[in-house]
Amino acid sequence: MTRLVASIFCGVVALIGCAGTTSAMTIEKIVSPSGIEAWLVREKAVPLVTLNYAFHGGAAQDEADKAGTANLAADLLDEGAGDLDSKAYHERLENHAIELGFQVGRDYIHGSLRALTEHRDEAFDLLRLALSSPRFDADAIERVRGQQLAALQRDSTNPNDLSSRRWWQTAFPDHPYGRESKGTLETVPRITADDLRAYVRRVFARNELKVAIVGDVDAKTAGALIDRAFGGLPAKNDLKPVADATPSGIGRRIVINVDVPQAVVTFGGQGIARQDPDFMAAYIVNHILGGGSFSSRLYREVREKRGLAYGVSDSLVWFRSAAVVLGGTATRADRTADALAVIEHEIKRMADEGPTPDELAAAKSFLKGSYALTLDTSGKIAVQLTQIQIDNLGIDYIQRRGALIDAVTIEDAKRVARRLYGGGMLVTVAGRPKGLTSSETTE
């Protein structure tokens, strides 16, 4: 088995862990013959190639009365392209076990490809067809639309969906971020084939395309593959601007009545932009309050000490035009008020006092040490490299990240804790919580 590229590349290109104890992973910046920039990691241990990419232009591009357009388009990209109808296209994928995926976020549409090395040309050809000449046949549109409507109908009584949907609607009224990417039962039926074609035409272009490729390929081959898939796309996209926004409704508490044994709680407030100088301090402080590990304050207070919930956490969420801190839990109806009181108390305590020096040191240690776990498969590496490009952090970010974490002082952490948690929260609850003081109640 080959270690992920030896340190002889040091200094030529960005290198992870060059000075540290971790093994090296080389990221090469390459430019395809047609001029598309991509980041490449050569990986020879497993005979496969993994591609991840993102086009600027996600669900925020949808018209308000046609929310779900980007999402429906994404679901139809592999339902026939070029001369191949849905059946023929899927057979070509299946004959060589090629995996294509498309996922719509608010700002971007993300794509992934995985193929055995020997089938990579076929894989990139099929991707080109999906991106440049999707058919959007009427029967496929109606079939996939039917699936999406059935899922929306199903989710219309799901407490997780109800709570989350109401949170975003309230936080971002009259803004694209307030709408779900998957649209609604009212908007999805309105989407036409022309809308889908217009979305693809406006978004799939070379100018704001981010690409990461991992596999047993050299720079020349990778460049040729990238052009094979993306080289024929228009040079420039045609996007609508998305206005900057801050979450509204802070301080409100909204109960959505639905008859379930367990109430689902969503809470959140103003977050922090990825490019903000305080981002890393905020990231650390949030980890201490409610990050994913078993040692966060919320986990300890809500779950371990009181047994109020199976899970509780919060995280930073950032977009191009807004940022929020968002968390959630689920707890039985007669203890929902208790759980929410504990969460609000911990948020206030963090805002007032910040973390302790011990907590800060432990969080730094975790966040540095665990990063390698996000880079241990080809797929994870490709996803990370695409996100680092989207966030415009630079090809040496992985190398710099440890120092950025170390630079956060306890004073920074306290100041940023107040900034992040001092402003209050918007809370939505779906269920039949007992004894919960509600600022308003809706059915």
Partner 1 sequence: MLTKINFMIIALVSAVASSVLAAEQAGPEIADFTLANGLELVVIPDHRAPVVTHMIWYKVGAADETPGKSGLAHFLEHLMFKGTAKNPAGKFSQVVARIGGQENAFTSQDYTGYYQRVPSEQLKTVMEFEADRMTGLQLTDEVVLPERNVILEEQNQRVGNNPRARLAEQIDAALYLNHPYGKPVIGWRHEMEELSRNDAIGFYRRFYAPNNAVVVIAGDVDPAQARALAEESYGKVPRHGAMGPRVRAQEPPPVAVRSLTLADARVEMPTLQREYLVPSFATGKRGESEALEVLAHILGNGSNSRLYRALAIEKQVAVVAEAWYDSSALDLSKFGIYGSPRPGITLLQLEAEIDAVVALLIDKGVTADELDRAKTRLIADAVYAQDNQASMARWYGTALTTGGSVNDVRHWPDRIRAVTADQVRDAARQWLDKRRSATGYLIKDVSPQVEKRS
Other beta carbons within 10 Å of 116: 16
Min dist CB 378 to partner 1, Å, is 5
Most distant CA pair in the chain: distance in Å? Answer: 65
Whose CA is closest to 52, among 38, 42, 70?
Answer: 38
Report the distance separating Cα 123 and Cα 116, nearest Å: 9
- Nearest distance from C-beta of residue 80 to partner 1, angstroms: 11
- Minimum Å gap between C-beta 180 and partner 1 is 16
* Closer Cβ to partner 1, 110 or 303, answer by number: 303
- Exposure string of 385-413, with b = 16+ CB inside 10 Å and e = fewer, is bbbbbbeebeeebbbebbebbeebeeebb
Nearer to partner 1, 34 or 293 (CB): 293
Q: Which helix (H) or strand (E) holds 255?
A: strand 253-257
**CA gap 25, 394 in Å, rounded:** 15
By C-beta, is 178 or 291 nearer to partner 1? 291
We find the least distance from the C-beta atom of residue 23 to partner 1, in angstroms, to be 5
Q: Which is nearer to partner 1, 28 or 107 (CB)?
A: 28
CA distances from 16 to 85, 165, 279, 372, 374 (A): 44, 39, 22, 10, 13
Q: Which is nearer to partner 1, 34 or 117 (by Cβ)?
A: 117
Q: CB-wise, 242 or 255, nearer to partner 1? A: 255
Q: Which runs of consecutive H residues, i.e. helices, occur in 172-251?
A: 193-203, 219-230
Nearest approach, Cβ of residue 172 and partner 1 (Å): 26
Instruction: Count CB atoms within 10 A of the CB of residue 213.
Output: 31
CB of 430 to partner 1, least distance (A): 10
Give the DSSP per-residue string, 143-164: HHHHHHHHHHHHHTT-HHHHHH
Q: Is 8 helix (H, G, I), strand (E, B) or coil?
A: helix
Cβ of residue 262: shortest distance to partner 1, in angstroms?
4
Helix ranges (H only) for 14-102 are 69-76, 86-95
Nearest-approach distance from CB 3 to partner 1, in angstroms: 5
Q: What is the DSSP secondary structure assignment for residue 422, as one 8-state letter?
A: T
Could you tell me whether strands 84-85 and 80-81 are parallel, antiparallel, or unpaired per DSSP bridges? Answer: antiparallel
Tell me the closest approach of the beta carbon of residue 381 to partner 1, in angstroms. 9
- Tell me whether residue 31 or residue 97 sits nearer to partner 1 (CB atom): 97
By C-beta, is 1 or 12 nearer to partner 1?
1
CA dihedral (371, 377, 381, 384) positive or negative: negative
Decide: 170 and 427 in contact? Cβ < 8 Å.
no
Cβ distance to partner 1 smaller for residue 114 or 135: 114
